[in-house]
Each structure stands twice: as structure tokens, then as C-alpha cells.
Amino acid sequence: MDMQYTQLGRSGLKVSRFCLGTMNFGPVTSEADSHRIMDRALEHGINFFDTANVYGWALGEGITEQIIGRWFAKGGGRREKTVIATKLYNEMGNWPNESRVSALHIRHACEGSLKRLQTDYIDLYQMHHIARECPWEEVWQAFEKLYNDGKILYAGASNFAGWHIAKAQEEARKRNFMGLVSEQSLYNLKARTVELEVLPACQDYGLGVIPWSPLGSGLLGGALKKASEGRRAQEGVQQTIEAHRPQLEKYEKLCADIDAEPANVALSWLLHQPAVTAPIIGPRTLGQLDNTLRALEVKLSEETLKKLDDIWPGPGGAAPEAYAW
């Protein structure tokens, strides 16, 4: 199947409709397997990879970035073919300025990511969360410095509210700075709160939306079937399944009726949403990656989209119409 591409928000940057998430690289997936998955992703035409300096979950180590860096170092055009996105915000140490988005931490965090990734620039540098205590004059001045030094090409956000996006963009506009080109949000059939204000803000300001957890932590990936096969045996997972069993039964029946895997239906639904650039897929194995790409072939009719809305209702559209006349 041919990979599809789109521009990242209002930028001229072309990215694949799926973004390869790397959070499993290290803790769950071995380095050798991680390298194989990244190679396979390029073979499939996926050119957009997402990571974060804290992935690997060893304080200050940046294990996942290191794995990617050693993959880049193999050469063969790996770095040149890849649009690499990473993030800063969370703790990289116990010292006072080793987290958040102060100018000092932005500088140190970027230098650390560049070293671990074995590259001299980051394509998309994202704030992993909003830091309300940091003035935008400070944040954008620090990002402009990185941009002017050629260390980052684009700036992105993650887990911002709609008004945070508006404030960030208006402050960037005052500085004649491009500001944000993307927002990475929790978005899936089950979690649709962002439709109220985040998605409208992104569309108005020209930000590409990069949904994380597109399968709702596996709930939308055929959870009932997998539970019956013993693949979802953990108590917490079982409790979540039971809490949503009526919806899941209708959902998985609908997927069966249209002869599509539940995971691929959930991903295809996101691809049908006008604000979405590329859902983040986080395969643990080569097989999972190959299976995920079948979602590109799933075309959802208007009737099916309406049925999905009935099973997994959103907030009612954009605010304020969602709750007012």
C-alpha cells in the first residue's frame, strides 16, 4: 500500500499520515528490534517519528533518544529521510532547572536531545505540556534562539488547552515568529474532549493535530476479543473493559460487519477528522507495524461514521454550540 502524506499544519513540511511513536523503544522493545521497526517504517514510507527526552524512564538518561541516535548513526540516509520530533518539559534531573520550559531548561534540554539523537538539528521541537508559570516572552525568545542557531526547524505543543494555543500564537505574532505548527493531544473515539476548543483553535491557527493514544490504551483495538483470548488479563484492564462493555460490544460488531479490524477502524476514524495530521502509532513489534498500516485502506462511509458517533458520542461539536444555543 502507498503511504499518504500531508502538510504539518500550515507549514510546508510534508509528513506521513501515521507518526511512528517510540515510547516502547527500550523499556518494552529491544534496541535491535527498535532499529528493525524504524527501518521497516521507512520502507513503508513513514517519515515522521515522535519521541521525548524522558522516554526510557530512567531519570536523565534519554534511553529512547539514544536508541534512535544510534539508528541514525548507521547512515544510509536514515536521518535525512526522517522528520524527527522530540519533546521537553518533564524532569531530566533533580536540580531546580532540569524540567519545565524556562529559557535555561529549554537550552539544556535541546543540547541534550541533539547529543543523544546524534544530529545537529531537531525537525519538530515540542513542549510536552503547558507550563503556566513561564511567560511566553521567555519561551519564544529561547525557541527563537534555537531556531536562529539552526538547532530546531519547527515548534510544537502537546497537551495544550485551546486558549493556551491562542495565547502562544498571539505572542509569537507580536515577535514576527511562526510559533506553533502542531499540537499533540489525547484524541480517539472514546476521548473526544479536544473537539470542544483544542481542535477549533488548531484549525483557526493552522496547527496540525497529532493524536496520541489513538486506540485508547488498547480499548479500541479489539479489547473484548483479546480479553477472551487471555491477552487482556490484568485487573485494571478488565475493569475498564467491563465499564465500557455495552459500547465495546456494539463497536466490535460494527467493525465485524464492515470486515475491518477494530484498531484499523479507530485509526481510520481519526484520519477522517479534518484537523488530524497523523495519529501516533506505537508498535512493539514488526507485525504490529505492518498490521497498523492496513488502516490506510479502511474507508468509512457516512453511515458508518454516524454509527461510530452513536456508539462513541463526542461532546456535541465545537464550543460554545456544543452546550449553548
Residue keyed to cell 520530533: 85
Contacts of 79 (CB under 8 A, 6+ apart): 72, 119
The answer to whether 204 and 198 are in contact (CB under 8 A) is no
Q: Which residues are catalytic?
A: 55
Distance between CA atoms of 140 and 175, rounded to whole angstroms? 8
Distance between CA atoms of 92 and 90, rounded to whole angstroms? 6
The C-alpha cell of 139 is what? 519561551
Return the closest-CA partner of residue 27 out of 60, 52, 63, 51. 63
Q: Which residues pair with 87 in a beta bridge?
A: 126
The answer to whether 190 and 312 are in contact (CB under 8 A) is yes
The residue type at 94: N
The C-alpha cell of 317 is what? 461539536
The C-alpha cell of 220 is what? 479500541
Work out whether the CA dihedral 35, 158, 118, 17 comes out positive or negative: positive
Q: What angle do CA 195, 52, 211 make, to 5 degrees?
A: 20
- Number of Cβ within 10 Å of residue 325's Cβ equals 4
End-to-end CA distance of the chain: 45
Q: What is the DSSP track for 194-247? A: GGTTHHHHHHHHTPEEEEE-TTTTTTTTTHHHHHHTTSS-SHHHHHHHHHTHHH
320 upstream amide cis, omega within 30 of 0: yes
The DSSP element (H or E) to which 43 belongs, if any, is helix 31-43
